[in-house]
A = this chain, B = another copy of it.
Amino acid sequence: MMLLMSRSTGGYHHGNLQAALEDAALDLLETTSAAKISLREVARRAGVSHNAPYHHFGDRAALLRALGVRGMAALLAAQEEAVAAADGPVERVRALGLAYVRYAAAHPQAFALVFDPDYCAAGSPSAEMSPLIARNEDLLGGEVEALVREPGYEGRDPVALSAALWSTVHGMAQLVTLGHLPLEAAEPALDALVQ
């Protein structure tokens, strides 16, 4: 019995160190880039020895990969929520893109981690990451399928259009988080393509 207890103080055993480490690292990720997060600092924040994390993550990269999965899940959830709240094919695609950009702007380090090839390489995604990526591609693909049946978009290749739209919102997210583009410029820029 007593699954998933969270007795976080006192005992020799932490109780739920895995989640505590991810939480501590996620906290650090609010203000620090993934490259600068040290496993030892995370362990210190969780109140355990510098070696305890190795019983839950094979190495530093594994912890960051787990954070990447969390970030991807949050990014996907933000898009799904925005799509569900929007009316009409054009408006749904617009909402999806804006949600993508806004998530990146709100959590720049987490967003960067999701697409950091040092930890989350697209070539060999983790077992947890793969389905999230697939769901995201399906989400966008489905909305674009509906879009190309709208007047003004008929006859466009949905595959090429999906790739173009993903590129656009991803680039926007990058440029906004980097400071090359103000967040307020994202919406009019997106409207310049999806009017």
Contact = CB atoms under 8 A, between A and B. Distances in A.
Nearest to A108: B117
A189 B171 contact: no
Interface in A95-145: 112, 115, 117-118, 121-123, 133
Contacts of A185: 160, 163
A172 B167 CA distance: 5
Contacts of A190: 164
Given A174-B115, A189-B160, A193-B193, A122 B167 contact: no
A39 to B, nearest CB: 15
Contact of A118 (B35, B123, B167, B180): B35
B118 A161 contact: no
A21 interface: no
A178 interface: yes
A149 interface: no
A171 B180 contact: no
A157 to B, nearest CB: 6
A168 B164 contact: yes
A36 interface: yes
Interface of A: 33, 35-36, 112, 115, 117-118, 121-123, 133, 156-157, 160-161, 163-164, 166-175, 177-181, 185-186, 188-193
7 contacts: A115-B174, A122-B179, A167-B167, A167-B169, A167-B175, A168-B168, A171-B174
